[in-house]
Amino acid sequence: MSSRLYSIVGTMVVVAFILSCSSCSKDKNEDRDHLVFRYNEHSNISSLDPAFARDQRNIWATNQLFNGLVQLDDSLKIKPDIATSWEIVDSTCTYYFTLRDDVYFHRNKVFGKDSTRKVTAQDFEYSFNRLVDPKVASPGSWVMSNVALVKAENDSVLKILMKNPFPPFLGMLGMRYFSVVPKEAVDVYGNEFRRNPVGTGPFQFKLWEENVKLVFRKNDHYFETDAQGNQLPYLEAVAITFLPDKQSEFLQFTQGKIDFISGLDNSYKDEIITTTGQLQPSYENSVTLSTSPYLNTEYLGFFMNTESQEIQSLHLRQAINYGFDRNKMIKYLRNGMGIPAVNGVIPKGLPGFNAIEGYEYNPDKARELIAHYTSETGDPQPEITIGTNSQYLDICEYIQRELEKIGISVAIDVMPPSTLRQMKSGGELPIFRASWIADYPDAENYLSLFYSENFTPNGPNYTHYKNKTFDSLYVAAQKISTIDDRKELYTKMDSIVTADAPVVPLFYDMAVRFVSKKVSGLGINPQNFLVLKRVKKKRSRD
């Protein structure tokens, strides 16, 4: 047997020991399965350090281990977390947060033998400033770009001074980047803090065999309780596996070896749901289907600095937008799981979304616009190339077929996701498939894609779109503290972008979860957060 295999076998023995709580009885093992929540992460996890919680795989894991000042509920309302209350002084752009006095870090050797200590405002000051430390090189350093000062006034009050007004900031504080971490642990573990996390969350780190198994155990000293005063979490453990593909993950789910799967993959979508988005009858007794609008807009982007006359033509960009049926695309390629993006870029579920006039399917209008393009340029056969990855090839092929019916020749360039990201950021693709998942629940996050000061690589404006009126409204919105007033400007900005057509909105995504009926308390939300502290499981025999 190889040393690698010995390692894996040894790890599984340890995991079995942990999860069975020293019991050797099969019956007792099964008796305790209801205390363990199991899920699969097919993309692996790169770090358990919240400073590197850049994507969903890392965010889901770190969300079980860490807390911040505030948290978002399933309606994306801002709620207290470690901060019990806050005061905002608009005149000086200053926030004051008052902290709980009963929050402790997970027990760890860095505090002395199996010891801990209370969280203070100084810990938040350290954690926030750590995000901008060049030695850390956190991909989340941008969240501090508008922060001038973070200062602990005393053990229980944290002051944050902003450089400029930025109303979305309070919601941003719910991001995992803003978690509190202890300096002692970072000093001891250094770069290995990524696999030796010490937080305050409902679960604490126990074991990680990378790409094989990750185990968290219940934090017996967690500070949150339910409405009846019972301490959270209810579960004893969380076990994460790393099967590399969605089809294997689905098989594990159907066999009852994991408790839920997220998202709808082509490999199993027709097996589990009907073409109208309902559970197939064979799964109705064992699976719960949960859906929610998801703050994710899928789109095609035009790189506006290209010399291509097709891309430079507003008429042709609009023709592409009119030239395919989004409703049919969602029905047949997504089994109804999605909302056709016919109302701009801001997704449904955010203040600022409005039923603005977008691009319904209109092939006659598209042909008319193509005729205008031909008249302007003398080009009788417009040709475009769409860069995408294999995951969205079916959608791009559908668009290809539909656009060719109205007179636009379409080529598709399929590439690995990493290559697509790199070429999109470098302005090397005239048309690219992309998506934008909200980092925080404010429409400004989407509109930042079109602000001219955010041209890549210095920001998220991948299209290099520029409009002076849009820019002025974007700046003005940052000075308005109330969301009701801001959302009027957000709608105006969305209308401007839609009219100029630097993108082709495809659909507003939906968060989709298939959950074992043994599981309760697993909510669903527009940011697709995974929150396990209120989850319960029934025994198999119940």
Model pLDDT, residue 276: 85
Residue 21, pLDDT > 90, answer no
Q: How confident is the model at residue 1 (pLDDT cuts 50, 70, 90)?
A: very low
Q: Which secondary structure element, helix H or strand E, spans residue 80, and what is its range? A: strand 78-80
pLDDT mean over 449-476: 94
Residue 194, pLDDT > 70, answer yes
Higher-confidence position of 498 and 542: 498
Model pLDDT, residue 418: 85
Model pLDDT, residue 6: 42
pLDDT mean over 369-392: 95
pLDDT tens digits along 65-123? 999 999 999 888 999 999 999 999 988 899 999 999 999 999 999 999 889 999 999 99
Distance CA 533, CA 202 (A): 6
Distance CA 126, CA 123 (A): 5
Mention every residue, 6+ apart, whose C-beta is less than 8 A from residue 390.
414
Residue 8, pLDDT > 60, answer no
Instruction: Determine the length of the chain.
Output: 542
Residue 22, pLDDT > 50, answer no
Model pLDDT, residue 3: 41
Q: How confident is the model at residue 326 (pLDDT cuts 50, 70, 90)?
A: very high
Distance CA 502, CA 314 (A): 9
Model pLDDT, residue 519: 97
Name all domains of the chain by residue range, CATH numbers in brackets. Answer: 293-510 (3.10.105.10)
pLDDT tens digits along 334-346? 888 999 999 999 9
Measured CA to CA in angstroms, residue 103 lies from 157, 160, 225, 254, 301 at distances of 14, 21, 12, 39, 45
Q: Report phi then psi at 121, rounded to 5.
A: -60, -30
Distance CA 321, CA 312 (A): 15
